Amino acid sequence: MTHNKTVAAVSTPYGKGGIAVIRISGSEALSIADKCFKTPSGNSLADIEGGRAVYGRIYDGGEMLDDGIATVFRAPRSFTGEDVVEIACHGGILNTRNVLGAVLSAGAYPAGPGEFTRRAFVSGKLSLTAAEAVADIIDADTEGKLKLSRSAASGKLSGKINELYGEILTLISSVYAIIDYPEEDLSELSTDEIRAGLSSFGEKIKALLSTYRTGRAVADGVETTVLGRPNVGKSAVYNRILGEDRAIVTDIEGTTRDLLYDRATLGDVTLNLCDTAGLRESSDTVERIGIERASDRARASELVLLVFDGSSPLTDEDMEVLNTLSFLDSDRVIVLINKKDLGIVCDTSEIREKYNNIIEISAVTGEGFDELSDRVREMYIGGDISLGDTPIVYNARQYASLRVAGECVDRAVNALESGFSPDVASVDLEGAMAALGECDGRAVGEDIVRDIFSRFCVGK
Ligand SMILES: Nc1nc2c(ncn2[C@@H]2O[C@H](COP(=O)(O)OP(=O)(O)OP(=O)(O)O)[C@@H](O)[C@H]2O)c(=O)[nH]1
Ligand SMILES: [Mg+2]
């Protein structure tokens, strides 16, 4: 453990680059950097103001290794809240390793994964939700996830949780005033007011919990499957959504055999998209296995894009597909009537009996895909949510803590409504407060903190 020691690591990616940055953080950061970084004027880094950068040469003992720039940040005005020096050197793999080696021989300890961010959390610079968001910014592979994690890192979510924490604190102190000094009228709130306050507090937690559907759809993705009989254009639809020619498209029925997977973004929602073999009776062993896999995948899907060829009347195979998939609820299906460019002639009344989300598209011209994108967005993001501005829960750990808080509040409200005295409710209120504290990290166990930061990369 390197709790209070001064630590150092390379904060830029491993590999060749114009510049690499070695970050040093801790009370000895300036004196350690001074031993290996010499400015032309001979001034010590200890004399440099925070937020300033100076040019100099980097030494390992008597040997000059490189030249570069040292930027000095002074506690508490640094990322970690400690004294920090960031040495930018030339970005060769060996050169970077040597510069880090010089810093370590000057007295720094190697930083563990996420050590700098953990220190920022410990020194109160970041809440746990914001610290987790830093890792998510680094991991983000879609614009939507990047927007969510940037917003969380800037404190949108922790601000909201903080606000809720303040509210429950007021409610709890009123409850304790009533319990401990029933005669003295110390509570700011009457029992009725506490009950009403708790109900509205519970609603706020539910509202925040409900954002998890959006958060998960953007950050982790919605399991989505393209289904339909052979030749309706499933693979063409799959390719159009991905924006590349991934799946083979031909006019031969049964072209797609195995499942194909890829991640795509539609209307800021991430789709974990799967193309499947056309559903039909088949005597071909390989195709039949593909069809079984497609059906299994349909059951495990959160969203199904059910494709029909609109340029010809529905076939018996189409009707069979409708029957086979009758277990799918309408709210997880978008029906795509494809090949609009050829003119729509198929009668969709039987489809409409089962599904109400129906869009006419052409996978060849791209017509209708904007509407599909809007529809997906409406399903998972909704009009009143802005990814950059609305506090959104997108992490399973935070969601679990908030759920516990919500359940505790519900139990407390029920107890008060059933006529129990406030002290019965107080146990659950304490539980709600602890769960909220766990959510933003003010009362989180060391093992959880260790687990979270172990998922970071070294140097962050
Ligand atoms: N005109 C027109 N042709 C299309 C459209 N979408 C697909 N096609 C054609 O329809 C044929 C079948 O397309 P695929 O995407 O391979 O169909 P599929 O549903 O994946 O078929 P299987 O893999 O066999 O189940 C190909 O010749 C495509 O070029 C469309 O929107 N308009
Ligand atoms: Mg196909």
CA atoms of 229 and 233, how far apart (whole Å): 9
Give the residue, out of 242, 248, 250, with the most ligand 1 atoms within 8 A of its beta carbon, to mutate for a pocket test: 250
Among 456, 415, 432, residue whose Cα is nearest residue 167: 432
- pLDDT tens, 274-326? 999 988 887 888 888 878 888 889 988 999 999 999 999 999 999 999 988 98
* Tokens linked to 400: 């679990």
Among residues 241, 293, 283, 286, the alpha carbon closest in space to that of 265 is found at 241
Measure the CA–CA gap between 380 and 358, rounded to whole angstroms.
17
Question: What separation in Å is there between the alpha carbon of 341 and the centre of ligand 1?
Answer: 12
Q: In what order do the strands lie in the sheet with 109-110?
A: 37-38, 52-60, 63-73, 84-91, 17-25, 7-10, 109-110
2 pLDDT exceeds 60? no
Question: Closest Cα to atom 7, ligand 1: which residue?
Answer: 233
Q: Residue 45 carries which DSSP code?
A: G
**What spatial distance separates the first Cα and last Cα of the chain, rounded to whole Å?**
17
220 pLDDT higher than 60: yes
Q: What are phi and psi of 227, to 5 degrees?
A: -130, 160
> What are the pLDDT digits (tens) for 365-410?
999 999 999 999 999 998 788 888 899 999 888 899 999 999 999 9
pLDDT recorded at residue 136 = 87
Given a cut of 50, is residue 1 above it in pLDDT? Answer: no
Q: For residues 130 and 158, is the Cβ–Cβ distance under 8 A?
A: yes
Is the separation of the CB atoms in 245 and 257 below 8 Å?
no
Looking at all shown ligands, the one closest to residue 253's CA atom is 1
Which is the closest atom of ligand 1 to the Cα of 307? Answer: 19
Q: Return the residue whose CA atom lies nearest to atom 27 of ligand 1.
A: 251
For 37-73, write each residue's pLDDT tens digit: 999 999 899 899 999 999 999 999 889 999 999 999 9
Q: Which atom of ligand 1 is nearest to the CA of 277?
A: 25
Of 8, 10, 30, nearest in space to 21 by CA:
10
Q: What is the pLDDT of residue 364?
A: 97
Kindly give the distance from the C-alpha atom of residue 250 to the centroid of ligand 2, in angstroms, as a whole number.
8
Q: How confident is the model at residue 423 (pLDDT cuts 50, 70, 90)?
A: confident
- pLDDT score recorded for residue 172: 86
Residue with the smallest CA separation from ligand 1 atom 13 is: 233
What does the pLDDT average to over 410-432?
87
Q: Determine which residue's CA is closest to atom 21 belonging to ligand 1.
A: 231
Pick 223 or 437 by higher pLDDT.
223
User: Residues with Cβ within 6 A of ligand 1?
Assistant: 228, 230-236, 249-251, 253-256, 277-278, 338-339, 341-342, 362-364
Nearest ligand atom owner, CA of 336? 1
Q: Across the chain, what does the average pLDDT equal?
A: 90
Query: pTM of the full predicted structure?
Result: 0.79
Domains of the chain: 7-111 (3.30.1360.120), 133-211+393-454 (1.20.120.430), 218-380 (3.40.50.300)
Q: How far is the CA of 264 from the centre of ligand 1 (A)?
A: 20
Determine the Cα–Cα distance for residues 284 and 254; give it in Å rounded to an integer. Answer: 10
Residue 187: band (very low, low, confident or very high) from pLDDT cuts 50, 70, 90: low
Minimum-distance ligand 1 atom for the alpha carbon of 256: 23
- Measured CA to CA in angstroms, residue 386 lies from 156, 163, 301, 390, 393 at distances of 12, 20, 26, 5, 13
* 276 alpha carbon – ligand 2 mean position (Å): 7
Interval between CA 18 and ligand 2 midpoint (Å): 45
Over residues 323-355, the pLDDT tens digits come to: 889 889 999 999 999 999 999 999 999 999 999
Q: Which atom of ligand 1 is nearest to the CA of 229?
A: 25
Neighbouring residues of the ion ligand 2, judged by CB less than 5 Å:
234-235, 255-256
Distances in whole angstroms, Cα of residue 178 to Cα of each of 52, 184, 243, 287 = 55, 8, 63, 71
Give the sign of the dihedral formed by CA 92, CA 94, CA 95, CA 98: positive
Closest residue by Cα to atom 6, ligand 1, is 233
| Cβ count within 10 A of residue 210 | 12
Going by C-alpha positions, the residue among 366, 373, 362 that lies closest to residue 339 is 362
Say which residue, 92 or 235, is predicted with more confidence. Answer: 235
Which among 46, 42, 68, 73 has a CA at the least distance from the CA of 55?
A: 68
